[in-house]
Structure 1
Amino acid sequence: MTEEQQQSLCKLIRQLGKQAQVLRDAGLKVDKKARQDFVSHADLFVEEEIKGWLQAHRPEDGFLGEESGLQGGEQGIWVIDPIDGTTNYILGMDYWCISLAYVRKNVIEMGIIYAPDRNEFFFSRRGQGAFLNEKRLRLREPDADAVVVGLGRSSRAPVESYSRTIDVLLNAGIEYRRFGAGALMLAHVAAGQVHAYYEEHMNSWDALAGMLLIEEAGGKSNAFLEDNGLLNGNLVLTGCVDVQQRLARLLHTG
């Protein structure tokens, strides 16, 4: 991707975030995909707009969207969640974002996460660092007794497993937070607002951009893309290196 294309894409993501705010404030049409799983016409609009830009500027690449599935992909694949945290977005909370990642040869090469209500624009390219509003992010290990972990709750994993995870963390003296938008929580790991993130199953459009941000900020992630994680999703355990390794032992993730 050229520098000009990169700037154009980032500008588009910012514009679409603003338009999603306008659509929400004007009143949304919302459909239900499953229990506690919603899609708004803003989700569909944002995904189609990004898809159109990519078809015009990166026709050699494929596209994997939460709402429209996989199309093409001989060179690389753009992976998008048009609005992560749709329930928060619908309810007027600020904890939602647009998430976009680029994967080539099973390696995450670029990640963008934009939280319009919070004015937070995260960007990373492999080997070039992670940034929040153009300020470089660098992770620092917390004290062992001051760890706070972000959690996600997947409908594809048993509730009992989630409950056990909370028990393990609290018994180990580790605090947790759950805010309902995994992609944005991953970005906030990269920003040092929580020290790691764990979810038993995430889809690639929620996970990839944030995982690259964390790695480029100096953190460590599990091998999400193994076992066809791009299409099937996978477990996510990522964060500050020492915290991530401690959690891997506590949660028996390998």
Structure 2
Amino acid sequence: MQSLTRLGDDLSFATAIIDQVDALTLPRFQTQDFTVSTKPDNTEVTEIDIAAEQKIRSMLSRSRSRDAILGEEEGETGTAARRWIIDPIDGTRNFVRGVPVWATLLALEEEGEIVMGIVSAPALHRRWWAAKGLGAFTGRNWTNAKQLQVSQVSKVEDASLSYSSMSGWAERGQLRGFLRLAEQCWRNRAYGDFWSYMLLAEGAVDIACEPELELYDMAALVPIVTEAGGTFTSVDGEPGVAGGNAFATNGLLHEEALGLLRSITDGEGEARA
């Protein structure tokens, strides 16, 4: 594992990258002057997604040339133990429709562990970042940053749940389990995408979950949630990002909330023992 000093340097470098990407993406979002196409998986992509990833790759190639890169739009390059993971615009559909809930996500993985993440949502005037052992923070810059801490809510009936959509739960055969969890919570809202997890890290939300995600959707979120004191697993309870989905809580609620989600599957008449 790299030293905290080196990790801090990587975080500072990632911040400089994100500054340049925000300067590219925000003006185009505000003017809405871009083309939109459909990828083979039927998801939307804009020329801004592609340009943002190319900007990040260009800066990484100059200063971190030995590191591998995995990006949503251009795939994987390199095989090094250190790998940067890019989602140039998380929330592309929001970006296209003029909804300000979208962000650039950048993470650093070392020897299979996500050790740093930064999430920038310039249309919301918000940014979040974390590195292993250094804590999690939010703010527009380092000088006015606020350290993040998850909530201390300890009962599901007192908890606020945020999710993205319900269709993926039906495809997994877990819609009934998701609805059971949502009904047990004090409040549920579909803040969606990265924002659910950033609100969790801030203590404004207590549970966040999504049934279908790619590595680049999750990587930057994990250190921010965990360094703020939360727990991030798959819906099967596997720590980290390996499960292709996400279930994150303030930690105190994790077993109870995950148990409710998994207590019944679609087609079952009774809860599982």
Structure 1 residue 160, shift from structure 2 partner? 7.0
Q: Which sits farther off after the overlay, 60-69 or 136-145?
A: 136-145
Aligned to 2:137, the other structure's residue is in SS state: strand
Hey, what's the Cα distance between the residues in 1 that align with 2:168 and 2:176? 16
- In structure 2, what is the equivalent of residue 215 of structure 1? 226
Q: Does 1:149 align with 2:157?
A: no
> Residue 108 of structure 1 aligns with which residue?
114
TM-score normalized by the length of structure 1: 0.88
Q: Secondary structure at the match of 1:205?
A: helix
Name the CA shift for 1:89/1:32 in 2 (closer, same or farther; >3 Å).
Answer: same
1:171 partnered with 2:183: yes
Q: Which of residues 176, 185, 188 in structure 1 aligns to 2:199?
A: 188
The total of aligned residue pairs comes to 247
Q: CA deviation at 1:18?
A: 2.8
Q: Structure 2: how far apart are the matches of 1:100 and 1:206?
A: 10
Using the size of structure 2 for normalisation, the TM-score is 0.82
- Counterpart Cα distance in 2 of 1:176 and 1:118: 21
How big is each residue's C-alpha offset from its partner over 1:110-144, in whole Å with a ceiling of 9 and x where there is no partner?
A: 00000001111111000110000121011122252
Give matches, 1:79-158, under 5 Å. Answer: 79-133=85-139, 134-142=145-153, 144=155, 145-153=157-165, 158=170
Letter in 1 for 2:188: Y
Tell me what 1:17 maps to.
22
In structure 2, the CA distance between the partners of 1:29 and 1:196, relative to structure 1 (3 Å rule), is same
Against the structure 1 CA distance between its residues 139 and 6, is the aligned structure 2 distance closer, same or farther, given a 3 Å change threshold? closer
| Equivalent of residue 40 in structure 1, options 46, 61, 81 | 46
Matched letter for residue 14 of structure 2: L
User: Counterpart of 2:69?
Assistant: 63
Corresponding residue to 2:256 among 227, 246, 250: 246
Identity, in percent, stands at 24
Tell whether the 8 Å contact from 1:189 to 1:214 is kept in structure 2 after alignment: yes
The offset of 1:154, in angstroms, is 8.0
- Taking a change above 3 Å as real, the CA distance of residues 123 and 9 of structure 1, as seen in their structure-2 partners, is same
Of 30, 40, 60, the match for 2:36: 30
Taking the aligned partners of 2:56 and 2:71, their CA distance within structure 1 comes to 10
Provide, for residues 178-217 of structure 1, a one-character-per-residue CA deviation record: whole Å limited to 9, x for no partner: 234x223212211122112111221111112112111000
SS in 1 for 2:219: helix
Matched-pair contact (CA < 8 Å) for 1:101–1:110 = yes
Q: Which runs of 5+ in 1 are unaligned?
A: none
Structure having the higher Rg: 2
Tell me how large the CA RMSD over aligned residues is. Answer: 2.3
